[in-house]
Amino acid sequence: MSVNGPPVVKPRPVYLNLVRIRLPLPGIVSILHRISGVALFLFAIPLALFAMQASLESAAGFASMQSMFAHPLCKLVLVGLLWAYLHHFFAGIRYLLIDLHVGDDLTPARQSSVVVLVASLALTLIIAVRLW
Amino acid sequence: MTRPLRQTVGAHYGWKDWLVQRVTAVIMVLYTLWMLAVTLYNGGIDYALWQALFANGAFRIATLLFGLALLWHAWIGMRDIWMDYIKPTAVRLTLEVMTFVVLVAYAAWLAQILWAAGQV
């Protein structure tokens, strides 16, 4: 680093433009981890409790849950939440491994973030196709 | 008079929550894999199997454990998000309290469902 010469003047403060910012892949996995977590909290937990209660009450309740989830709109919601669960699941396991210093260098961390994105999307797609 | 040095290390809940978030995650992974195995082994779940599962006391306890792990995990995650993005203290506190109350209500709801399933 050169000590001489005029100091480099950087424009400060730096404002982050969320529309223009380009997140690296691990950053995308990270923000999707948050977004999927919020979706699971807001929608999946109450929906799961509701479905669990109705389906355990009686055979008729079980059948009514089956027909409810057979509705295309309901399936769409289910597929969305399925992706949220799978992404949160795989990204979470990635973080657990990084905590154990497995793959915490830059290159493997980038590779594993691709694996998380692709695996959760691919599995969601496969199950969605089987649902339809 | 000598005073003890003031400790400037915070409230200590950071490392505990960090650990809880990971322990609850592992519990949920195990339960998820177990349920996946049950589903695949039986080629789907019909009403008879669904009822038989919940008639088993050990399964109900495992489900309660999973549910409590999930709700605790959701509490730490949501509180972190409120702390990160909501600056006004009054708004953040309101959201945190609402989140907490909702999660405790969910825990009660789950307990009710499991209790009813045990009465059959």
ipTM score: 0.89
Q: Which residues of A touch B54 (CB under 8 A)?
A: 56
Q: Is A34 on the interface with B (CB under 8 A)?
A: yes
pTM: 0.87
- pLDDT for residue B26: 98
Q: What is the mean pLDDT of chain B?
A: 93
Residue B73 C-alpha, separation from nearest chain A C-alpha, in angstroms: 10
Q: Is A31 on the interface with B (CB under 8 A)?
A: no
On the 0-12 / 13-18 / 19+ scale of CB atoms within 10 A, B120 is exposed
Q: Is the pLDDT assigned to residue B73 strictly greater than 80? A: yes
- pLDDT for residue A96: 97
- pLDDT for residue A132: 83
- pLDDT for residue B7: 64
Our measurement of the distance from residue A12's CA atom to the centroid of its chain's CA atoms, rounded to an integer in Å, reads 33
DSSP per residue, A63-121: HHHHHHHHSHHHHHHHHHHHHHHHHHHHHHHHHHHHHTTSS-SHHHHHHHHHHHHHHHH
The pLDDT > 90 percentage for chain B reads: 85
Enclosing H/E stretch for B110: helix B89-119
Q: Is A93 on the interface with B (CB under 8 A)?
A: yes
Query: pLDDT grade, residue B1 (50/70/90)?
Result: low
Nearest to A88 by CA among B69, B74, B54, B38: B74
Q: Is the pLDDT assigned to residue B40 strictly greater than 80? A: yes
- Say how far apart CA A127 and CA B36 lie, in whole Å: 13
List Cβ neighbours of B59 (8 Å cut-off, separation of 6 or more): B53
- pLDDT for residue B63: 98
Cis status of the peptide bond prior to A72, with omega within 30 of 0: no
Average pLDDT over residues B3-10: 68
Q: Which residues of A touch B25 (CB under 8 A)?
A: 92, 96
**B99, HSE (Cβ side, Cα atoms, 13 Å):** 22
Average pLDDT over residues B58-80: 98
Measured CB to CB, residues of chain B less than 8 Å from chain A are: 22, 25-26, 29, 32, 47, 50-51, 54, 70-71, 74, 77-78, 81, 106, 109-110, 112-113, 116-117
- pLDDT for residue A3: 62
Average pLDDT over residues B8-37: 91
Nearest to A26 by CA among A125, A84, A81, A107: A107
Nearest to A82 by CA among A90, A68, B89: A90
- Say how far apart CA A57 and CA B56 lie, in whole Å: 16
User: Which residues of chain A fall below pLDDT 70?
Assistant: 1-3, 15
